[in-house]
Structure 1
Amino acid sequence: MAESDNLKPHAIFIPYPLQGHVIPSVELAIKLASRGFKITFVNTQSIHHHTSKAQPKTGGNLFAAAREAGQDIDYTTVSDGLPVEFDRSLNHDQFMASLLHVFSAHVDELVGKLVKSSVNTAPVTCLIADTFFVWPGKVAKKYDLLYVSFWTEPALVYSLYFHVDLLRKNGHFACHDVREDDINYIPGVKSIDPSDMMSYLQDANVTTVCHQIIFNAFKDVRESHYVLCNTVEEIESETITPLHAKIPFYAIGPLFPNRFNKSIVATSLWSESDRSQWLNTKPQGSVLYVSFGSYAHVSKRDLIEIADGLELSKVNFVWVLRPDIVSSEDTDPLPSGFKERTSDRGIIIQWCCQKSVLAHPAIGGFLTHCGWNSTLESIWCSVPLLCFPLLTDQFTNRKLIVDDWKVGTNLCDWKVVKKEVVSNKINHLMDVKSGDEFRKAVAKVRKTMENALKPNGSSEQNIDTFIKDLKAGMRK
């Protein structure tokens, strides 16, 4: 490492190539650049292709506006090993296999070139990479860089993955007779039902490519010098405290743009519809926002029950319905006549700027898959949640939302989705009287988040401490 105390940190930043990971990565890159970092941000060619296609005005450099605003951010791309137009959502396992076996070689080559080309200008000092990658520790060590692992999900999810060996040892994971009683031995984690663990830790088959990635990633992360986490210390303090004893762990969230719904960097993989004029015509808190995120799929049966329940509820709604929400082959999975029967009180769009919709005064609830970005954004906008987790961390996020923070409720309580229940749950959340408990709870957690981002708040102090620690590491 360089010896100069005044050496500007230069980080190569590589986000995981899924929209839910890219969004907070972009905001972290901007935040670090505003604190004196030089950043070289590396998207996959596929992410770049789809983002540029969705928002053609961005041109070749997605960070051009950030550079114009004075941020020292370079931008480049690397292949993930598959053609840019390849349907990664439909071919999930093939995509994950490419990330596991091919992508690392492309990254290694790129990092080597960037390190070599920066020697006489702004030497690369650290590698910031998503925790889910399996290679950062090895690549950082090869090029003598400090390794900063960026965790885009809550600390609770990190801790469960980090302690997967304890789950194996105690018979709650990857054994013939998996225990079904509560898990009460993970440091910093209150007693947790196995059904509240991430979907990958509930699977009977643990030989999939996704499991290989998780196991290898959480071996690799032990080689990291620092872990940055997109959460807030006060809302997960019990989980975070024991992690500090194992690894330098900094809660620096929520990672939002300075103007909440106006990022200066394009991150959407689809063209966004603006429905603010329609929302302006609706009473305050009267509209349910429905979205199941950018990647996970919903079964056709469940989607039809949810649509029928939404129709029965009589509430106003904005429904973001990706063309591939069921599958790429079924582009119109809604019940026959649904759009026509609900056209007076609902709109269906393929994609939108979610932050702008959630921030609109007309929105009173969010029917969500419980993705972590969606969770943080909804709480920030004081919008209570109706939870329908589908995949990975979403089941654990649901636990935090419903059981711990009480800022939302379950859509179906683990039973089969039925339209009558969906209708009742929607009305319970949206009703002025019955939904008040959720609105009060979400306002309280929102205030905690807001305080964390104040100049003396925990997240701001934690990122300052991280930068101080990183610079000390650079001098060693």
Structure 2
Amino acid sequence: MNPRFQEHFYTHKTDQKFHRIQETQMGSLQEQRLKKVVLVPFPFQGHITPMLQLGSLLHSKGFSVVISHTQFNAPDIADHPDFVLLPLPDDVGGLDMSFDNMLNVISAMNTNCEAPFRDHMVQMLQKEEVGCVIHDSIMKFADEVANDLRIPSIVLGTSNASYSDSLCAMLELLDKKLLPLPESQLQESVPNAHPLRYKDLALSASSEIPDIVIDFTRSYIDKKAASAFIWNTVDMLEHQSLQKLQHHYNVPFFTVGPLHKMAPPSRTSLIKEETACLAWLDNQAPRSVIYVSLGSLATIEEEELIDMAWGLANSDQPFLWVIRPSLVNGSEWIKCLPEDFVEKTRERGCIVQWAPQKEVLSHPGIGGFLTHCGWNSTLESICEGVPMICRPCFADQLVDSRYLTHVWRVGLELEKNSGRLGIENAVRTILTSKEGEEMKVRASGMKQEMERCVLKGGSSYNSLCELVEYISTLPRKI
């Protein structure tokens, strides 16, 4: 291994020795036959998107890329002609794929995919060199196979680093038997986890947590066998959390986000996008539209959907609303929307089943984003300077929301039980108030900082250069 990488490091320290890779070095690497890398995504939208973007980024740097994927939500080869797609039999066809059953789905995937993945890797190693396996934290079978075959394994953090840091804090509280807490204490700060409150933790701090959930969390965090971590984030967003985690794992970290800005454009959506909404946006005034989307997996009750509808209607502001077919528990798409709501908002509302989100957020007509605060959505919104109304649903979304509202201050917190009046007030605040204008100014400043990070000499650019050299010089494990 290159001696420069034998010292464990955090890639975005201000010390320039970690930032300086000469263009001549990069050129010589590109001229070499770079290694094959095998990527193993978790096949849900928020996870597979950054993994495919990372694949495109590594391919653009000269690597041969194999995507070893489950049959469930398999990528379309037509969308990724530069990759070798390697399907893994997962036998999950009869399972409930809702969020409530996700731990059972994850367990089945890890059990069923291990043997075929091992067979593929053994065959691959007989023919050619494999530089490393890069896997989602959830796909632990990939890590186990890679270690058994002495192939370096690298974890891709598809959530933000602060979420992983919060899980470490949660497990420490559980180990010290400091949980659960009474409801009255949920607003208090979590020790050593600023700015999080107990209510912002991914696991409930006020009730007993099932052993299966705790075991999964420990497995998600326990990656001490990993050779390195890749993070879809930026140092200036999460410097403190990254430092704490790097000390915890004591391996190289590479912060190469935001991946959707670093990688060549590619199709990653698992749901068909309705592009006609972009033409509708063309007819709206600049920064006048609130965009509403709660992501690809979260579900809400019909009552909340109706409250959201009337909150949007009563705000008197234009809106683009994504209501995917599985959003509302027990209801079919928009059949539960009141007829008078549809009539009242016909001239200033656009409802679609799925939108091309990156294009929507970059449209000049968008003035705010009512979001579930998934990490991809958070990064995409920050990169376009769009302030957010934060309605998190689960897991990392709770952490993201807290950072958006109380650290980066480009988001407005929307409590789950805010009702239609809370939604109405939040929309008006973001789009029409002085407070909203101040958020837009801060969001615009963050956008400019993010742009600097991905340009030549920026932190993400430098980290990518270091990642390319790191993978290119990785030896097989002894």
Q: Do they fold alike, i.e. is TM over 0.5? A: yes
Provide the alpha-carbon RMSD of the alignment: 2.6
Q: Which residue of 1 aligns with 2:306?
A: 304
CA contact (8 A) 2:181 2:206 kept: no
Shift of the 7–176 alpha-carbon distance from structure 1 to 2, 3 Å rule, reads farther
Relative to 1, partners in 2 of residues 1:356 and 1:110: Cα closer, same or farther, differing over 3 Å?
Answer: same
Distance 1:259 1:346 in 2: 33
Q: Tell me the equivalent position of 1:43.
A: 69
1:459 CA drift (Å): 1.1
Q: Name the counterpart of 2:242.
A: 240
Quote the Cα distance in structure 1 between the aligned partners of 2:344 and 2:47.
37
Please say if 1:161 is aligned against 2:163. no
Tell me if structure 1 keeps the 8 A contact 2:161–2:238.
yes
Shift of 1:467: 3.0
Secondary structure of the structure 2 residue equivalent to 1:236: helix
| 1:357-405 Cα shifts (integer Å, max 9, x gaps) | 1111111110111111111111111111011111111111001111000
- Letter aligned with residue 256 of structure 1: H
- Asked if the contact 2:40–2:136 (Cα under 8 Å) also holds between the matched residues in 1, the reply is yes
Choose the corresponding residue for 2:57, options 28, 31, 41.
31
The offset of 1:206, in angstroms, is: 2.2
The verdict on how the C-alpha distance between 1:9 and 1:210 changes in structure 2, with shifts beyond 3 A counting, is farther
Deviation, structure 1 residue 203: 6.3
Aligned to 1:340, what secondary structure does the other structure show?
helix
Q: Which residue of 1 aligns with 2:327?
A: 325
CA distance in 1, matches of 2:183, 2:135: 36
Are 1:129 and 2:135 matched, yes or no? yes
Q: TM-score w.r.t. structure 2 length?
A: 0.86
Equivalent residue for 1:270, pick from 269, 272, 280: 272
Listed one character per residue, the Cα deviations across residues 191-217 of structure 1 (whole Å, up to 9, x for unaligned) are 53111222x253624226444322222
Query: 1:104, CA displacement in angstroms?
Result: 2.4
Q: 2:86 corresponds to which residue?
A: 76
Q: Which range moves more in the overlay, 317-326 or 130-139?
A: 130-139
Give the match for residue 435 of structure 1: 436
Task: Check 1:469–1:421 CA distance in 2 against 1; reply closer, same or farther (3 A cut).
Answer: same
Residues 13 and 128, structure 1, Cα contact 8 Å, conserved in 2: yes
Contact 1:132 1:214 in 2 (8 A): no
- Which consecutive unaligned segments of at least 5 residues does structure 1 have? 53-59, 68-72
Q: Name structure 2 gaps, 5 residues minimum.
A: 2-28
Residue matched to 2:80: 63
Question: 2:288 aligns to what?
Answer: 286
- Following superposition, the deviation at residue 94 of structure 1 comes to 4.0
What residue is the counterpart of 2:45 in the other structure? 19
Check the 8 A contact 2:54/2:263 in 1, yes or no.
no
In structure 2, give the amino acid aligned to 1:43: H
* Matched residue, 1:295: 297
- Cα distance change, pair 178–298 in 1 and its aligned pair in 2 (3 A): same
Query: Residue 289 of structure 1: SS of its match in structure 2?
Result: strand
Does structure 1 retain, via aligned residues, the 8 Å contact 2:288–2:366?
yes
Amino acid of the residue matched to residue 104 of structure 1? N
2: CA distance, partners of 1:447 / 1:42: 36
Which residue in the other structure is 2:226 paired with? 224
Counterpart for residue 207 of structure 2: 204
What residue number does 1:70 align with?
none
Moved more, 233-242 or 460-469: 460-469
CA shift digits 1:389-447 (9 cap, x unpaired): 111111110011110000111123x6x22222221111111016441110011111112
Q: Taking every aligned residue pair, what percent have the same amino acid on both sides?
A: 26
Q: Distance in 1 between matches of 2:262 and 2:156?
A: 20
Given that residues 53 and 263 in structure 2 are in contact (C-alpha distance below 8 angstroms), is that contact kept between their aligned partners in structure 1? no
Q: 1:309 to 1:94 in 2, by over 3 A?
A: closer
The answer to whether the 8 A contact 1:229-1:250 is kept is yes
C-alpha separation between the residues in 2 aligned to 1:115 and 1:411?
47
Q: Is the 2:198–2:205 contact (alpha carbons within 8 Å) kept by the matching residues of 1?
A: yes
Partner SS, residue 385 of structure 2: coil
Structure 2 counterpart of 1:384, one-letter code: P
d(CA) in 1 for partners of 2:179, 2:41: 28
CA contact (8 A) 2:181 2:205 kept: no
1:410 to 413, 418, 424: 413
Aligned equivalents of 2:211, 2:303: Cα separation in 1: 26
Q: Which amino acid aligns with 2:38?
A: I
Q: Which structure exhibits the higher relative contact order, with contacts defined as CA atoms closer than 8 Å and separated by 6 or more residues?
A: 2
Q: Is the 8 A contact 2:68 2:88 kept in 1?
A: yes
Q: State the Cα distance separating 1:473 from its structure 2 match.
A: 3.1
Partner SS state of residue 245, structure 1:
helix
In the alignment, residue 249 of structure 1 is paired with which amino acid?
F
* Contact 1:288/1:317, CA 8 A, preserved across alignment: yes
Q: Map 1:130-145 onto structure 2 (within 5 A).
A: 130-145=136-151
**Alignment-derived partner of residue 182 in structure 1:** 189
Q: 1:162 to 1:127 in 2, by over 3 A?
A: farther
Aligned residue among 250, 253, 262 for 1:249: 253
Aligned letter for 1:442? A
Match of 2:197 among 183, 186, 193: 193
The residue aligned with 1:56 is none
> How far apart, CA to CA, are the structure 2 residues paired with 1:34 and 1:227?
20
- Where do 1:354-393 residues align within 5 Å? 354-393=357-396
Residues in 1 aligned to 2:325 and 2:163: alpha-carbon distance in whole angstroms: 29
1:458 aligns with 2:465: no
SS of 2:85's equivalent? strand
Q: Residue in 2 aligned with 1:55?
A: none
Number of positions where the alignment pairs a residue of Structure 1 with one of Structure 2: 444
2:323 is aligned with what amino acid?
L
Distance 1:264 1:104, change over 3 A: same
More helix by share: 2
CA shift, 1:123, in A, is: 2.1
Q: Which amino acid in 2 is paired with 1:287? A: V
Query: 1:182: how far off?
Result: 1.9
Q: Give the Å deviation of 1:177.
A: 10
Contact 1:8 1:122 in 2 (8 A): no
Instruction: Name which of structure 1's ranges 118-127 and 276-285 shifts more when overlaid on structure 2.
Output: 118-127
Q: 2: distance between equivalents of 1:104 and 1:434?
A: 47
Contact 2:299–2:327 (Cα < 8 Å) also in 1? yes
Instruction: Label 1:203 to 1:272 Cα distance change in 2 as closer, same or farther (>3 A).
Output: farther
How many angstroms does 1:318 deviate by? 0.5
Q: Counterparts of 1:175 and 1:193 in 2: how far apart (Å)?
A: 12
1:57 counterpart residue number: none
* Distance verdict in 2 for CA 1:330–1:240, change over 3 Å: same
SS state of the match for residue 79, structure 2?
coil
The answer to whether the Cα contact below 8 Å between 1:27 and 1:256 also exists between their aligned partners in 2 is yes
Question: How much has 1:179 moved relative to structure 2?
Answer: 6.3
